[in-house]
Amino acid sequence: MNTLLGQAVLSCEQFDLHTLNKLFTLADILQPVAYGKAYTNVLEGAVMGSLFFEASTRTRLSFDAAFMRLGGKVSSTTGVSFSSIVKGESIEDTARVISGYFDVLVVRHPEEQAIYKMAQATDIPIINGGNGAGEHPTQALLDAYTIHNEFKLNGKSMDGCKIAMIGDLRYGRTVHSLVKLMSLYKNITFTFASPDFLKMPEYITEFARERGHTVIETDQLKHGIHNNDVIYATRIQKERFTEGEETRKPELSFRINQSMIDQYAMKDAIIMHPLPRDSRENANDLSNDLDNDPRLAIFRQSDAGVPARMALFAMVLGVDQGIENTIKPAGWFVP
Residue window 228-247: x/- pattern of binding to a copy of itself, with contact defined by CB under 8 A = -------x---x--------
Which one from 22, 60, 69, 108 is the annotated catalytic residue?
108
Our answer to whether residue 214 is catalytic in this structure is no
Q: Which of 133, 193, 138 is nearest to 169 (CA)?
A: 193
Q: How many CA atoms lie within 13 A of 318 on its CB side?
A: 7
Among 13, 93, 112, 245, binds a copy of itself (CB under 8 A): 93
Nearer to a copy of itself, 20 or 105 (CB): 105
Angle at 248 between CA 245 and CA 252, to 5 degrees: 145
Residue window 1-30: x/- pattern of binding to a copy of itself, with contact defined by CB under 8 A = ----xx------------------------
Confirm if 52 and 40 have CB atoms less than 8 A apart.
no
- Is residue 306 involved in binding a copy of itself (CB under 8 A)? yes
Closest distance of CB 210 from a copy of itself, Å: 34
Confirm if 258 and 205 have CB atoms less than 8 A apart.
no
Q: Number of residues in contact with a copy of itself, rule: CB under 8 A?
A: 78
Among 12, 23, 94, 198, binds a copy of itself (CB under 8 A): 94
Among 22, 69, 176, 180, binds a copy of itself (CB under 8 A): 69
- Is residue 277 involved in binding a copy of itself (CB under 8 A)? yes
Three-class SS state of 64: helix
Which one from 18, 58, 209, 248 is the annotated catalytic residue?
58
**E strands within the chain?**
38-39, 47-52, 73-78, 104-109, 126-131, 162-166, 189-193, 214-218, 230-233, 270-272, 328-329
Among 20, 42, 261, 271, binds a copy of itself (CB under 8 A): 42
Distances (CA, A) of 181 to 145, 171, 188: 10, 18, 11
Among 36, 197, 199, 215, binds a copy of itself (CB under 8 A): 36
Could you say which residues in the range 97-126 bind a copy of itself, by CB under 8 A? 97-98, 100-103, 123-125
- Is residue 53 involved in binding a copy of itself (CB under 8 A)? no
Our answer to whether residue 108 is catalytic in this structure is yes
Distances (CA, A) of 322 to 235, 315, 326: 40, 12, 7
- Is residue 150 involved in binding a copy of itself (CB under 8 A)? no
In a 10 Å sphere around its CB, with 0-12 CB exposed, 13-18 middle and 19+ buried, how is residue 314 labelled?
buried
Stretch in the footprint of a copy of itself (CB under 8 A) among 152-160, 225-233, 243-251, 280-288: 280-288
Q: Which of 100, 103, 57 is nearest to 78 (CA)?
A: 57
Among 3, 17, 55, 252, binds a copy of itself (CB under 8 A): 55
Residue type at 54?
E
Nearer to a copy of itself, 101 or 220 (CB): 101
- Is residue 221 involved in binding a copy of itself (CB under 8 A)? no
Confirm if 2 and 318 have CB atoms less than 8 A apart.
yes
Neighbours of 269 (CB within 10 A): 23
Closest distance of CB 322 from a copy of itself, Å: 11
Our answer to whether residue 136 is catalytic in this structure is yes
Among 10, 12, 46, 166, binds a copy of itself (CB under 8 A): 46
- Is residue 145 involved in binding a copy of itself (CB under 8 A)? no
Secondary element (H or E) of residue 185? none
Distance CA 30, CA 163 (A): 27
The catalytic residues are 58-59, 87, 108, 136
